[in-house]
Chains A and B, each alone.
Chain A
């Protein structure tokens, strides 16, 4: 179980090694990468600034990961969430889970990604060509 909150980018191949897939009897690993879009509806995005609440964010990510571990037989898992000023195409978040069977990993990864939307203390300030605004939570 790994949780990281960081400014810098992540390398998926490096992070995948932390899941110890060769030795933990995993038949499947699901990887989700969240990225900065180039457009929001018709508006061209210049940047996305992510603010967070240190300590609480790490605690929330650990809680989310533990909830997933308690719900499904996951062999290994990882959440990395970035903060700071990001640009279109940049990585924001990486979620990976491995388990004996693929369905478990698909469900656990989706669960973690959905929980990040409502429980992880991040706020996004989106800047387009002529305005800046704080993003509101998604409705679905």
Chain B
């Protein structure tokens, strides 16, 4: 699974993307956030406030309960500020 980070999520985690093998018991975005938060303090800092974060799977906005698979491209980011 490819995971991409943007804006202050990217800054706090310290990388712009990574490839992981999705553990079998991680089947939605919320569980993925909990899994990633254990990877280090930067992850925890970036991902702890779940209510603020936005997500996309394969370039479509999804909510935190969305089901995920190992071949998905996930992006995690703050609310957008386009325009």
Is there a chain B Cβ closer than 8 Å to A117's Cβ? yes
Known: A55-B59, A56-B59. Contact between A134 and B78, CB under 8 A? Answer: yes
B81: A residues at CB distance < 8 A? 117, 122-124, 134-137
Known: A117-B83, A121-B82. Contact between A51 and B75, CB under 8 A? Answer: no
Report yes or no: B77 in contact with A53, Cβ–Cβ below 8 A. Answer: yes
Number of interface residues of B (CB under 8 A): 16
Report yes or no: B83 in contact with A121, Cβ–Cβ below 8 A. Answer: no
**Binary B-proximity of A4-24 (CB < 8 A = 1, otherwise 0):** 000000000000000000000
A sample of 19 cross-chain residue pairs with beta-carbon separation below 8 angstroms, ordered by A number, consists of A34-B83, A51-B7, A53-B75, A56-B75, A59-B59, A92-B83, A93-B83, A116-B83, A117-B81, A118-B79, A119-B82, A120-B80, A120-B82, A122-B81, A123-B6, A123-B80, A134-B7, A134-B81, A137-B79
Q: Whole-angstrom distance between the alpha carbons of A34 and B59 in the complex? A: 25
Q: 9 shortest A-B CB distances, which residue pairs?
A: A120-B82, A116-B83, A122-B82, A123-B7, A56-B59, A116-B82, A137-B79, A117-B83, A135-B81
B83: A residues at CB distance < 8 A? 34, 81, 92-93, 113-114, 116-117, 120, 122
Report yes or no: B78 in contact with A121, Cβ–Cβ below 8 A. Answer: no
Q: Whole-angstrom distance between the alpha carbons of A85 and B4 in the complex? A: 21
Report the minimal beta-carbon distance from B59 to chain A, rounded to whole angstroms.
4
Q: Whole-angstrom distance between the alpha carbons of A81 and B81 in the complex? A: 12
Shortest Cβ distance from A55 into B: residue: B59
Is there a chain A Cβ closer than 8 Å to B8's Cβ? yes
Report the minimal beta-carbon distance from B11 to chain A, rounded to whole angstroms.
8
Report yes or no: B6 in contact with A121, Cβ–Cβ below 8 A. Answer: yes
Q: Whole-angstrom distance between the alpha carbons of A118 and B7 in the complex? A: 15
A135: B residues at CB distance < 8 A? 81
Known: A51-B7, A53-B6, A56-B75. Contact between A119 and B80, CB under 8 A? Answer: yes
**Binary B-proximity of A75-109 (CB < 8 A = 1, otherwise 0):** 00000010000000000110000000000000000
Report the minimal beta-carbon distance from B70 to chain A, rounded to whole angstroms.
20
Report the minimal beta-carbon distance from A59 to chain B, rounded to whole angstroms.
5
